[in-house]
Amino acid sequence: MGLFTLVPNYTLGTWLGVILPSAFVAYWVVWIVYARTLHPLSAIPGPFWASISRAWYVKQILSGDMEKTQRRLHSQHGPLVRIAPNEVACADISAIKMLYRAQNPLRKSDFYSVWGNPGISKHPDYFSVLDENVHSTRRRIVNQVYSLSSVLKSEKFIDGCSKLFCERLGEYVDAAKVFDLGEWSQWYAFDVIGELFYADQFGFMKNSEDHDSWIKSLDTLMPPLCVTAVSASYVRPLILCSAITIPAARHALKAIDHIVKAAKHCVSDRAKRFEVSKDPGVPQRQDLLQQFFDIMREKGEKLDFGIHEIELEAYVALFAGSDTTAIALRATFYYLMKHPAVMREAQSELDAAAAKGELSNPVQFAEANKLPLLCATIKEAMRLHPSVQLTMPRHAPRGGLQIAGTYIPEGYRVGLNAAVIHYDKGVFGEDADQFRPQRWLEENATNMDKHMLHFGAGTRTCIGKNISLAELHKLVPTVLLNFDIKMAHEEPWTTNNLWFSKQGKLNIVATRRT
């Protein structure tokens, strides 16, 4: 009341009914005029609403098809599109090297900060940390653990998951039941993370269920998190406060807690076993968690890498490692089923290798890596349907940035979206929007490789990519070797792009191959 009576002539009613609404309208009129004329990004084309408010981006997220909108906008407006008052999406392939450069890298925008969880360790995780120096110091500690050779130390445990997957699929075949390959792909991806970080499968596939509702928790969490990430920073506290009143948001906060607890449980349970296995008579299991424990024991104090930092590794793996990998598995199987000729050719390649005695069952990574069409198929699926399908925003550096012939001043956001770049006809060919794995067996393959952004680029490239590549190159050939699969219905899949572009059900029917 006091504030409104500072100017005694105006009553509370006048303030609320006239002055505040007028000030609000005036503010918006001035802002719109500024955003459309004098603003440093005003010359960059794009939807009117995007140029004046981030609400446009939020609406696209809620529609779940930002990648299609972006492809359409780029074909309409060219390589630069303003997708928020202070943010530009770029479709110019020459910007890859500039935006995701290794030397003096560009800073991530605050899109990323909402994904972090400060409650686990005093250090930030690699995905959400914005400071590049902190990022490189912390990532250096664990980089080796995520290398391909290190992941493959656990290959026999991944084999255990592939075997169980095929056993379960076989049971569905015998019972003549439809198998949701989409759901099972995510169960598989989670159980592999279990093997690598927990020394055991979590039990998704064993019990044929969403273990402890983790997938449900992630699905609940993604929409509010993604909306918050693309919202203006001043709106974010409001969204968080809404958690108190909106049940979906409240569930999302609980879901984070659920996943944090799961990660902590993973590590503490394993730490107990680690104590036990210090006994020289018990052989050490060389999975990823074991290697983190080794770092902690040998250099933990010096590097400030203790039990909470290991918990953070497990948390990120649970969060970032299941949806992404499952999306890539679904994409590969889906495109193969939609293109039976390619499927037959891939199976012939497998059969030929098996006939020469060059294939184990489950298939080993090194064996799969020698099969050109199989590798091309996986890459082509990740090209057409990358797991992450929003722009990966960075701040223009000191002195600004010249991209696609336009100057972006320092501090403004600009990013590339894999789901746009991967459709570039100049790089991938006139048929870039078609599934044609054979393109990877042609002479342009090296050039195309340089333009793939499915695992990101530069210093912030995906840390877990070798885990996922191992899963893909093992499960896909093992399934194709043992089963003929086809979709149970003809309808195309549904997708929902919330940073991870997750597909809906992928019901299949299968028969055993002899």
- List of residues contacting ligand HEM (CB under 6 A): 126-127, 139, 316-317, 320-321, 324-325, 328, 387-388, 392, 454-456, 460, 462-465, 467-468
Are 236 and 223 spatial neighbours (Cβ–Cβ below 8 Å)? no
The HSE-up count of residue 380 (CA atoms within 13 Å, CB side) is: 27
Strand partners, 333: none
Q: DSSP alpha helices (H): ranges in 322-396?
A: 323-338, 340-355, 365-368, 372-384
Task: Name the residue nearer to ligand HEM (CB basis): 319 or 412.
Answer: 319
Name which of 172 and 333 has its Cβ closer to ligand HEM.
333
Minimum gap (Å) between residue 387 Cβ and ligand HEM: 4
Contact call for residues 192 and 158 (beta carbons, < 8 A): yes
Q: Which residue is nearest to ligand HEM (CB)?
A: 464
Using alpha carbons, list the distances in angstroms from residue 431 to 66, 223, 336, 425. 22, 33, 17, 7
Q: How far is the CB of 287 from ligand HEM (least distance, A)?
A: 12
Closest separation between CB of residue 414 and ligand HEM, Å? Answer: 13
Peptide bond into 362 cis (omega under 30): yes
- Contact of 376 with 332, CB cutoff 8 Å: no
| Closest separation in Å from C-beta 341 to ligand HEM | 25
Beta pairing, strands 413-416 & 87-90: parallel
The tokens describing 510, both together, are: 């299968």
Q: Rounded to the nearest whole angstrom, what is the least distance from the CB of residue 328 to ligand HEM in the complex?
A: 4
Q: Min. distance of Cβ 184 from ligand HEM in angstroms?
A: 16
Q: Which is nearer to ligand HEM, 305 or 455 (CB)?
A: 455
Q: Which of 313, 254, 252, 288 is nearest to 123 (CA)?
A: 313
Shortest Cβ 329–ligand HEM spacing (Å): 8
Q: Is 462 annotated as a binding residue?
A: yes
Contacts of 355 (CB under 8 A, 6+ apart): none
If you write DSSP's letter for every residue of 147-209 in order, what string do you get? SHHHHHTTHHHHHHHHHHHHHHHHHHHHTT--EEHHHHHHHHHHHHHHHHHHSS--SHHHHTS
The label of the residue with tokens 């203006």 reads 232
Amino acid identity, residue 2? G
Show binding-site residues: 462
Show binding-site residues for heme: 462
